[in-house]
Amino acid sequence: MVLRVDALAKTFPGGVRAVRDVSFTVGPGELVALVGESGCGKTTTLKCINRLLEPSSGLIEIEGEDISASDAVTLRRRIGWVMQGDGLFPHLSVAQNITVTPRLLSWDAAQLSARVDELLDLVRLDPDEFRDRLPSQMSGGQRQRVGVARALAARPNLILMDEPFGALDPITRDGLREDVMALKATLNFAAVLVTHDMAEALLTADRIAVMDAGTIIQYGTPAELLAAPAGPLVERMLETPLREARRVRDLTEGAGHV
C-alpha cells in the first residue's frame, strides 16, 4: 500500500472541524478522487497528507511509515504535488523548475539534465524547444505539463493533485488529463486527485470518495456510485454528467437521422 489514511481529523482554531474521520487507501498505480462542493474538506485532506497542514488526529502512512514521525520538509520531497494554476517559479526556466526537488536532493548535473529531457518527452514537450523557456513564454496547457513534469522529477511513488486541470480550456484539459492517466499507467505511481467535477472523477478514478461537511459520505468505484448513489447529494453530483451525456447522445442520434 502506498498511502493509508485512517480516521483523519483536522480542527482549525476556533473549533472549526474541517475534516472528520476520513479513511481511504491508495495502492500502486491507483488513483483516488476526493470529490465534493467547495468547503467540504477535500483540499484540507490533501494538505494533511504532505503536512502542509498538521492533522489534529488520525493516522497517515506512506509506504508503511507514519508521516508524523518524519521531518515535514523531507516528507514533501518524497511526494509529487500538482496544483491548479501550475505554480511554476516565474523567474526560473523550465529546466530549473523541473529540477527544484532533485537539486535539493543533491543530484549531479548530468542526472538533472537527463531527467529534464526524459520528463519533457514524457509530457510531450520538445526538450530542445522548451527546456530554457520561462513560464511566461508558454501557454497555460504547456505550463501545466511542466507542473506535472516537476511533480514527477524525483520519481515519487505518490502524486497529490489539487484541481490540476481546472484552469484549462476543455480541449487542453481533456488532452492533459488523458496524458496524466497514461503516465500513471506507465510509471505506476499512486495518486490522489481533488476535484469538484464528478465527470472528471468518473473518467479518471479507480475509486471516488465523495465528501460533505468534512467527512466521506460515499466511497467506491465509479460503477458502484453510478449503480447505487448514497443519498441526495451524490445523486445531484452524478446527475449533471449523466444529463450532459444524455443530451450529447440525443444530439448525436438526431444528427445521424439528418
| Per-residue model confidence as pLDDT tens digits over 97-135 | 999 999 999 999 999 999 999 999 999 999 999 999 999
Name the nearest CA neighbour of 46 among 192, 253, 154. 192
CATH 3.40.50.300 for domain 3-78+156-256, yes or no, is yes
DSSP state, residue 29: T
Asked whether the predicted pLDDT for residue 209 surpasses 50, the reply is yes
Euclidean distance between the first and the last CA atom of the chain, given in angstroms as a whole number = 53
Give the pLDDT mean for 131-158: 94
Residue 257 has pLDDT above 60, yes or no: no
Average pLDDT over the chain reads 92
Question: Between the CA of residue 89 and those of 78, 169, 196, 204, what are the distances in Å?
Answer: 20, 22, 26, 28
User: The whole model's pTM is what?
Assistant: 0.92
Q: What is the pLDDT confidence band of residue 256, given thresholds at 50, 70 and 90? A: low
CA separation for the pair 134, 128 (Å, rounded): 14
Q: What is the pLDDT of residue 7?
A: 98
- Determine the pLDDT at residue 56: 97
Whose cell is 483516488? That residue is: 32
pLDDT at 69: 92
Give the whole-angstrom CA distance, residue 43 versus residue 83: 11
CB 42 within 8 A of CB 36: yes
Segment holding 12, helix H or strand E? strand 3-12
Going along 27-133, which residue ranges are E strands? 31-35, 57-62, 65-66, 79-83
Q: Which three cell numbers stand for residue 191?
A: 495518486
Q: What is the largest CA-CA distance in the chain?
A: 66
**Can you give the pLDDT at residue 116?**
96
pLDDT of 166 > 90? The answer is: no
Residue 249 reports pLDDT greater than 90: no
